[in-house]
Amino acid sequence: MLGNFSFHNPTKLYFGEDSLKYLNEELPKYGEAVQLIYGGGSIKRNGLYDEVVAILKANGKRIVEDGGVMPNPTAQKVREGVQIARENGVSLLLAVGGGSCCDYAKAVSVSVNCKEDPWDKYFMRYEEPDCEILPVGCVLTMAGTGSEMNGGSVITNRDMKLKIGHVFGDSVMPKFSILNPRYTMSLPMRQVTSGVYDIFNHICEQYFSGTDDNVSDDLAEALMKSVVRNSLVAVEDPQNYEARSNIMWAATWALNTLISRGKTTDWMVHMLGQAVGAYTDATHGLTLAAVSLPYYCHILPYGLQKFVRFAVNVWGVRPEGKSDEEIAHEGLAALQNWMRQIGVAVTLTDLGATPEMIEGIAKATIILKGGYKVLTRDEVIKILTESL
């Protein structure tokens, strides 16, 4: 039975090959100065930067540059972005890039008018903004995080070796997002498949919670099957537009709050993966891939029936003549086989973690209570060790 909930998502999406033209419809809603946020420069190499700049200039905007957003944006970078916005009287933060740029833009948006240190307020105390929030728009170039249609922002504090996400409310969600699957085709395949696993794990984190039979789980299963099917096509044919568009659309729906309705949700794989990222600066989706199977094997006995359902409904495991435990483990084996097929079956050792880091990573792991088993610190260490 679904519990009581509300659902509201204010982000307007423009999807498709000609979606960038709709930036012309959005820009007149905002003031003169636009802070143009992007990463390491790939948008300059593929020509997207020039396209966006031309549209901004055609709309009479003053462009304030804010490049160099790293894959795991830092608290220090957020402070730099805040300073840029304050000094230039910015009225719109336009993130052109992947989820990291979108996350970073949202962190800046709630910090420009904040009178306290944003890291302490938002990422240590998890408080909501009580100041004016700058609007954010996104032009997405990578499918994975779902940040284009949610209030989430994940920031790393390198000095403290912490990587923490804050899911802000509706007011922080992007005002608009532009999604053109063509923009994802210039990415290295390892980056694409890392994003694919991030999508899949977002769905799992919401699916593996609760024991009832509800619409949210039906939607989650359909999304998982779509991600698996289209990822295999994309790996074989990287320029397949249909596969890329389906992956991009699934990424948005995986984390725009829809399939979490009526669910407690379990984000422990993300807590483990983010702690690993704080120590190694490894790619987010790959940190999730490294820890997820050991984690799911660990909690399987506590949520056995959902893992059985996962095996049968997502992976097509035949249940005849098998125990529930055998069916559930066969489902996880199918998951692992798919991870190998797309190239994300990695270990923490592959990502630069060492046995000596495990205690620190465990200490940096935030323990949540929404899943089938609330982990002890010893269990966190055990799962991380098995992930090496």
Alpha-carbon Rg for the chain in angstroms: 20
In a domain, 276, yes or no: yes
Total tally of structural domains belonging to the chain:
2
Residue 2 has what pLDDT? 63
Name every residue whose Cβ is closer than 8 Å to that of residue 46 and which is 6 or more positions away in sequence: 183, 186
In a domain, 5, yes or no: no
Name every residue whose Cβ is closer than 8 Å to that of residue 330 and which is 6 or more positions away in sequence: 311, 315, 317, 322
198 & 170 share domain: no
Largest CA distance in the chain: 69
Residue 212 has what pLDDT? 82
- Give the residue numbers spanning the domain of 325: 189-387
Domain boundary among 125, 152, 183: 183
Residue 1 has what pLDDT? 56
Under 8 Å between Cβ of 58 and 28: no
Residue 4 has what pLDDT? 80
In a domain, 152, yes or no: yes
Domain boundary among 183, 214, 239: 183
Q: Single out the residue of 310, 106, 100, 51 nearest to residue 198, CA to CA.
A: 100
* CA–CA gap between residue 50 and residue 67 (Å, rounded): 14
235 & 99 share domain: no
147 & 167 share domain: yes
176 & 70 share domain: yes
In a domain, 22, yes or no: yes
Residue 249 has what pLDDT? 98
CB hemisphere CA count around 282 (13 angstroms): 27
In a domain, 6, yes or no: no
Domain of 245, CATH number, reads 1.20.1090.10
pLDDT tens-digit profile, the chain (388 residues): 566 888 899 999 999 999 999 999 999 999 999 999 999 888 998 899 999 999 999 999 999 999 999 999 999 999 999 999 999 999 999 999 999 999 999 999 999 999 999 999 999 999 999 999 999 999 999 999 999 999 999 999 999 999 999 999 999 999 999 999 999 998 999 999 999 999 999 999 999 999 888 899 999 999 999 999 999 999 999 999 999 999 999 999 999 999 999 899 999 999 999 999 999 999 999 999 999 999 999 999 999 999 999 999 999 999 999 999 999 999 999 999 999 999 999 999 999 999 999 999 999 999 999 999 999 999 999 999 999 9
In a domain, 1, yes or no: no
Domain boundary among 183, 215, 242: 183
